[in-house]
């Protein structure tokens, strides 16, 4: 008579894990430029500069299961006397991805991944501006998920009805 406690059943089949997995492999400064075209006079200007900040997110497949997500941040500070400083940072990260459904790839690469790396890019940017002789610029947190949703809705509205819809 066989004892049920001696029987081990597995449902994994061949042992392969099919659950979605994402891991941060590395993050790094890909490009950093700081320009201070009006030094040393800029340090004596009486006017506070106006700050313009622009963001751009990119994603490139660099291997079978590896994606590079980049966050480009451009900051330009101008006063009536001219440009105080201009900074351009391209901060990137490598993510390993396995078994991620296709409909989840773009939201991760354009919303979640930038959210994860933004605090580090923000620190690099603040340090570069401080090292240029200006008070560090601390950017407010950004809702990358909300921005992604807005962009997706705008694209859906401009695309109209899907092709083949009667």
Question: What are the two backbone dihedrals, phi and then psi, of residue 25, each rounded to the nearest 5 degrees?
Answer: -90, -50
CATH number of 21-156: 3.10.420.10
Q: What is the pLDDT of residues 45-62, one digit of tens each?
A: 999 999 999 999 999 999
Q: What is the pLDDT of residues 130-144, one digit of tens each?
A: 999 999 999 998 888
- pLDDT for residue 87: 98
DSSP string, 145-163: HHHHHHHHHHHHHHH-SPT
- pLDDT for residue 166: 44
**Residue predicted with more confidence, 153 or 114:** 114
Strand 82-98 relative to strand 66-79, pairing: antiparallel
Q: What is the mean pLDDT of residues 81-104?
A: 95
pLDDT of residue 13 exceeding 60, the answer is no
pLDDT of residue 11 exceeding 50, the answer is no
Parse the chain into domains and list their residue ranges: 21-156
What one-character DSSP code corresponds to residue 110? I
Taking CA 76 as the corner, what is the angle to CA 127 and CA 94, rounded to the nearest 5 degrees?
A: 55
- pLDDT for residue 16: 64
Residues 9 and 156: their CA atoms lie apart, in Å, by 48
């Amino acid at each position: 008579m066989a004892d049920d406690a001696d029987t081990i059943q597995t449902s994994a089949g061949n042992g392969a894990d099919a659950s979605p997995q994402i891991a941060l492999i590395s993050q790094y400064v890909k490009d950093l430029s700081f320009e201070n075209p009006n030094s040393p006079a800029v340090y004596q200007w009486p006017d506070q500069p106006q700050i313009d900040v622009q963001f751009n997110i990119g994603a490139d497949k660099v291997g079978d299961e590896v994606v590079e997500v980049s966050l480009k941040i451009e900051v330009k500070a101008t006063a009536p006397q001219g440009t105080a400083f201009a900074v351009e940072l391209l901060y990137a990260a490598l993510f390993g991805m396995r078994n991620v459904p296709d409909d989840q790839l773009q939201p991760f690469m354009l919303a979640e991944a930038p959210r994860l790396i933004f605090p580090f890019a923000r620190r690099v940017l603040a340090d570069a501006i401080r090292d240029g002789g200006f008070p560090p610029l601390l950017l407010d947190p950004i809702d990358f998920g909300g921005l992604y949703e807005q962009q997706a809705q705008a694209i859906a509205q401009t695309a109209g009805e899907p092709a083949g819809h009667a």
